[in-house]
Structure 1
Amino acid sequence: MQGSRMAPSPEQQKLRLPPNVQVRRRGNTYVICYCNNEVGGVVVTETPSGDTQLRPYVKDPVELNKDIVALVAQQMADALIEHAGRQPDGTIPSPPAPIPGTKLLENTMFPCSRCGRITARLVFAPECASEADMLSLGERLRNDVRYAPYPVWLIGAPDSEDDSVARHLTLQLAPIRGEVYREHPDKMNSRLMELDDKHHC
């Protein structure tokens, strides 16, 4: 990295970084260092639809580096969503088009009604029709939610087409991993309202 001077990032003051982790901005990249050694970063790009996209990378594929980059990327993504939610029109940018050969999962973030910080996230996967499907997808999402400081649930297929009685497959992914169970959306809605009521701003 000789000859490339990196200016300290103002985001460093806003992110909750562990000891010995620094984030510095270099162009459109936020370089992540641990004990002054680069471990990876997050490249900020714009999608064809004009949305902001964060693309994390890991310099050396060792577990510690992956963990550090995942933690910082999660905080940056949350900050971006919270910022978008505070805009005058209140709209959150639409997700980018999926990469060919991949499927984009619908994600819904629930910001606190008072401070705007995220209190919960639901990931919808109606194609998950069995406990095995839920566990398999939950495992694939493990790194995406590993450092979420708020609850994240995976919501699968309902057991009925009658919405008044349908219970959906449900799996808590973070911050603590749970077991697969079935739950009516009204129960989840009550839990989300309770999280909002009890959120410490």
Structure 2
Amino acid sequence: MNSVFNLALLTSFCAAVLVALMSAPLIEIIMTALLLALVFFSKDDQNSQLLTFCFAVVFVLSSIVVYILETVVYPSVNGGFFQNIYAFSSQLLLSMLLLFILKHRMTVAVLLTRGKSASVFEKNYAEGPLYLLVMVLVFVDFMALMENFLRNLEHIGVREETARTFWEVTFFYDYFAYLKAVPMLLCVTILYVGLIVRTKRQPIQG
């Protein structure tokens, strides 16, 4: 077993366990289960394993952040406005982290393989679509955060008569889970398609 496979497998397994223990939404449980399955499907392709590892790492961090928010932050913060600031800000930071990791995937590859694997540095046609989908996730998180401020202007010094106009602006709040679920599932689909394309185009090399 190569080191990238071991890391991807361990991280994906931890993500699946943590998400299940946190009673996360069904979509996240499905996502982590699919990532775990994808690790086994790509057991001979370190390139695809690395991309899967990138997503699994963020899922692990997300579970840890949610636990901290629910056990430490929320009990000490009064009001949905401030709780939502922490929630949407953390989601935004995690999405930006995923974007950063994908952008610097080659650097991650060097750190994990020490340059000993050729296939991990090859171009993966899934990278472009994945980068675009993660940018969509960043956009959704950012808009949800901005909408939270807009909906609660009275908390940041705006007169209530004016702020009341925006109290019903709840699109991203109401559909946040769905707006995140679609690109997340598409990411897993693209990861699988990328693996299939690489497998059919050329023999996998270590």
| Larger RCO: 1 or 2 (CA < 8 Å, sep 6+) | 2
> Is the structural similarity TM-score above 0.5?
no
Q: Greater helix share, 1 or 2?
A: 2
Q: What TM-score do you get using the length of structure 1 for normalisation? A: 0.31
Q: Greater strand share, 1 or 2?
A: 1
